Amino acid sequence: MRGGPAALQSSVTRLIVRPASLLHRRSNTITTLTTIQSIILHRVLQKSTGKSGTTLTASATFSTMASSFHPEQARVPPAVQLPVPPITKFKIGLCQLKVTADKERNILHARTAIEEAAEKGAKLVVLPEIWNSPYSNDSFPVYAEEIDAGFDASPSTAMLSEVASLLSITIVGGSIPERSGDKLYNTCCVFGPDGKLKAKHRKIHLFDIDIPGKITFVESKTLTAGETPTIVDTEVGRIGIGICYDIRFQELAMLYAARGAHLLCYPGAFNMTTGPLHWELLQRARAVDNQLYVATCSPARDVGAGYVAWGHSTLVGPFGEVLATTEHDEAIIISDIDYSQIELRRTNLPLEKQRRGDLYQLVDVQRSNSQ
């Protein structure tokens, strides 16, 4: 009975202008379909219990049916239970910054923005992708910092650590070019309120694209892909980290959700070709598919730059709703996150209990190998 009762009601409404005889026949058809639906449901209930006249509810029956699909096997290893976060409600700050060729200026500017976001109540602050350097293969080697060598070799992360500690906030530090040995990475560092480095994510999926007449960029000319998904427990919940192009790969987001993430953060610099088409679409898809929060932070648009960013930093809720966003100019977005909405939406749409583990599986290779 395609369309269900709502569709049938719509059909009746449209038939009001038709002759009464037609409406009468249509009404009989609706009654017959409703009767058939009741018979089918009754037989389903009988089959599930082996009894007639059962009082078992339809929802309980469908739950029993779903269990036969082995939803717990759709994630390998099985998905972990969503952890209780240290805090349920808090403010997030997304700092959409203009990036220049002056690295020292970029660092000072980012610090000022973080301080402003904290003054407005943000307990978590997110910076853009490649905020301390122009976005180009020529610039990456010049602006790269040796993060593992300590703060003396990495003034950008030294600033992030200091300001996180001074303001007692968590910072998802966008990304900067990182040098490690003879390799370069596009790297995001996460700092806790104590100023300590809690996690480091190296961009897993490199931005190698060619849209003739629009844009061609090959990150792999200079950068090396990261090897490890990054999920981190912070004072504002469990956060999965991706960088820009990582957002296109739903498997990574699904993996983070299966590991119990409350929030996914994607510092990113989409361009003027893919930005209008895909930026918001991908954020909302990652959020609604996994029923969690998604935050993105872009550089502000500079039409005179070699690479022009789309902007539009955004926070999306677990129902796919855009909670806060901006245009392309510099901006500091402050918005509320309420993790109780995750449980609410997962109750409204219990997707985790409805997956078909008998038909498909997502394998978390890293977790599987560690067991």
Catalytic residue numbers, as ranges:
129, 203, 244
List CB contacts of 286: < 8 A, sequence separation 6 or more. 247, 250, 253, 264, 294, 316
Secondary structure (3-state) at 228: coil
In degrees, to the nearest 5, what angle opens at C-alpha 90 toward C-alphas 88 and 95?
A: 140
Hunting for tokens 């040098």 — which residue is that?
Answer: 179
Q: Is the bond into 128 cis (omega within 30 degrees of 0)?
A: no
Residue 83: C-alpha distances to residues 87, 289, 292, 340 (Å):
11, 19, 13, 12
Residue 319: C-alpha distances to residues 123, 138, 315, 348, 365 (Å):
23, 40, 12, 10, 28
8-state DSSP, 361: -
Provide the 10 A C-beta neighbour count for residue 264.
Answer: 26
Provide the 10 A C-beta neighbour count for residue 232.
Answer: 19
Provide the 10 A C-beta neighbour count for residue 278.
Answer: 15
Side chain identity at residue 194, one-letter code? D
In degrees, to the nearest 5, what angle opens at C-alpha 219 toward C-alphas 250 and 137?
A: 145
Element (H, E) at 117: helix 103-119
- End-to-end alpha-carbon separation of the chain, Å? 47
Tokens (6 digits) for 52? 């007639």
Provide the 10 A C-beta neighbour count for residue 220.
Answer: 12
8-state DSSP, 71: G
List CB contacts of 99: < 8 A, sequence separation 6 or more. 106, 128, 130, 131, 132, 133, 134, 135, 299, 300, 302, 305
